[in-house]
């Protein structure tokens, strides 16, 4: 949905609930859990640390497969999770592909969840390519919190991270891919902030590729009015391009060292690099128990056709 900025009401407070959001508020993570609803199958870009047999490593740990849910089953998933842990404050779509590559399932899921659980905070992560054109609808559905994975702000670095970008059916590669993705990400974040969404940026730390560039990303995040900055160590998915090329992953210590130089923005230090079907407290993932209780998973993620 395309909406002119002039027609948007900028007065809405979309930070409501931050005191109960386990990712945006470390204290809240001790008491409140989140549930990820794995309804977004496809992706529209190709990150070199990703392999599409696995979850999106931008907001999840590669190397684990998940079942997919239909939007109609998302409400039931939340009831199942609540049987195991009742204080679920957030429901989110975080893959296993990109939440906005085919936004229909994501939007339908938010609609159904909001109707059944009006008190639950809605959250979403995305690579940002299709963010701008979906902002108005996300707000209509009641989403307040959005995470965008931004791994570079410079096209010469971004082109080493992405193999292709498919925007509106046109496939871009190399510098063109990097430029269009960066342009859409920055524009999406800028407008989301203006509309009052609470935004987190996730950056995947890739040794030798963007480690020296994290400060530039944080500076850009500050300028854009992003609320929270989260740097995650890259864990290259098996069979991914980086994995095959021998690009080594990073670890928490690498992240801590880089973050010493980052000032002037809220930093997330308690990220668990969750699965796209994670459930419960960040510290205690219940996804395995939940999927064992359900019979309505479409099929194993690995078997889904792309
Ligand atoms: Fe999920 Fe992400 Fe929303 Fe949290 S996760 S979509 S903001 S509800 Fe949280 Fe998990 Fe880290 Fe993400 S610990 S991977 S930051
Ligand atoms: Fe993979 Fe996520 Fe990148 Fe898409 S956005 S290619 S699912 S890591």
Measured by CA distance, the residue closest to atom 2 of ligand 1 is: 125
* Local confidence band at 169 (pLDDT 50, 70, 90 cut-offs): very high
Q: Considering only CA atoms, which residue is closest to atom 13 of ligand 1?
A: 271
Distance separating alpha carbons of residues 115 and 138, to the nearest angstrom: 15
**Ligand 2 mean position, distance from CA 96 (Å):** 8
Q: What is the pLDDT of residues 279-302, one digit of tens each?
A: 999 999 888 888 777 764 554 444
Mean pLDDT of the 11-32 span:
83
Q: Could you tell me if 120 and 112 are in contact, meaning their C-beta atoms sit under 8 angstroms apart?
A: no
pLDDT value of position 126: 97
Give mean pLDDT, residues 196-220.
96
What are the structural domain ranges in the chain?
18-297
Distance from residue 231's CA to the centre of ligand 2 (Å): 16
pLDDT at 8: 41
One-character DSSP codes across 150-217 = ---SSHHHHTTTEEEEEETTEEEEHHHHHHHHHHHHHHHHHHHHHTTBEEEEEEEE-TTTTGGGHHHH
pLDDT tens-digit map of 119-163: 999 999 999 999 999 999 999 999 999 999 999 999 999 999 999
Instruction: Give per-residue pLDDT as tens, 230-278.
Output: 999 998 888 899 999 998 899 999 999 999 989 999 999 999 999 889 9
Q: Is the distance from the beta carbon of residue 201 to the nearest atom of ligand 1 less than 6 Å?
A: no
**Mean model confidence pLDDT for the chain:** 89
- Nearest atom, ligand 1, residue 59 CA: 14
Ligand 1 centre distance from Cα of residue 59 (Å): 7
Per-residue confidence (pLDDT) for residue 300, from 0 to 100: 45
Q: Which of 43, 51, 240, 276 to mutate to test the pocket of ligand 2 (most atoms within 8 A of CB)?
A: 43
| Selected residue with higher pLDDT from 296 and 166 | 166
Give the CATH class of 18-297: alpha beta
> Over pLDDT 90: what percentage of the chain?
75
| Predicted local distance difference test score (pLDDT) of residue 236 | 80
Q: Cβ distance 263 to 253 under 8 Å? A: no
Average pLDDT over residues 39-64: 83
Ligand with the closest atom to the CA of 147? 1
User: How large is the average pLDDT for residues 170-185?
Assistant: 97
Above 90 in pLDDT, residue 69?
A: yes
pLDDT for 65 beyond 80? no
- Pick the residue whose CA is nearest to atom 6 on ligand 2: 46
The residue ranking higher by pLDDT, 172 or 15, is 172
């Amino acid at each position: 949905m395309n909406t002119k900025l002039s027609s948007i009401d900028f007065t809405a407070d979309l930070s409501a609930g931050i005191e109960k959001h386990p990712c945006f508020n470390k204290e809240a993570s001790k008491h409140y859990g989140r549930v990820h609803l794995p309804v977004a199958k496809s992706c529209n870009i190709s990150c070199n640390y990703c392999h599409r047999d696995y979850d999106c490593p931008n907001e999840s740990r590669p190397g684990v497969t998940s079942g997919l849910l239909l939007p109609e089953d998302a409400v039931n998933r939340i009831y199942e999770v609540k049987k195991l842990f009742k204080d679920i404050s957030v429901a989110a779509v975080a893959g296993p592909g990109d939440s906005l590559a085919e936004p229909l399932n994501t939007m339908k899921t938010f609609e159904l969840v909001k109707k059944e659980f009006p008190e639950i905070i809605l959250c979403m992560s995305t690579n940002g390519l299709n963010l701008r054109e979906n902002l108005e609808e996300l707000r209509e559905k009641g989403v307040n919190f959005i995470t965008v994975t931004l791994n570079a702000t410079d096209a010469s670095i971004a082109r080493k991270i992405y193999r292709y970008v498919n925007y509106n059916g046109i496939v871009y590669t190399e510098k063109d891919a990097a430029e269009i993705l960066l342009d859409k990400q920055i524009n999406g974040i800028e407008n989301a902030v203006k509309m009052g969404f609470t935004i987190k940026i996730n950056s995947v730390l890739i040794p030798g590729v963007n480690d020296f560039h994290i400060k530039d990303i944080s500076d850009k995040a500050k300028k854009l009015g992003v609320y929270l900055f989260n740097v995650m160590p890259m864990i290259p998915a098996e069979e991914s391009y980086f994995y095959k090329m021998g690009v080594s992953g990073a670890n928490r210590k690498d992240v801590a060292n880089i973050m010493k130089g980052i000032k002037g923005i809220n930093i997330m230090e308690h990220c668990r690099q969750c699965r796209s079907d994670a459930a419960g407290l960040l510290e205690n993932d219940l996804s395995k128990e939940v999927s064992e209780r359900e019979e309505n998973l479409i099929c194993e993620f690995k078997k889904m056709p792309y």
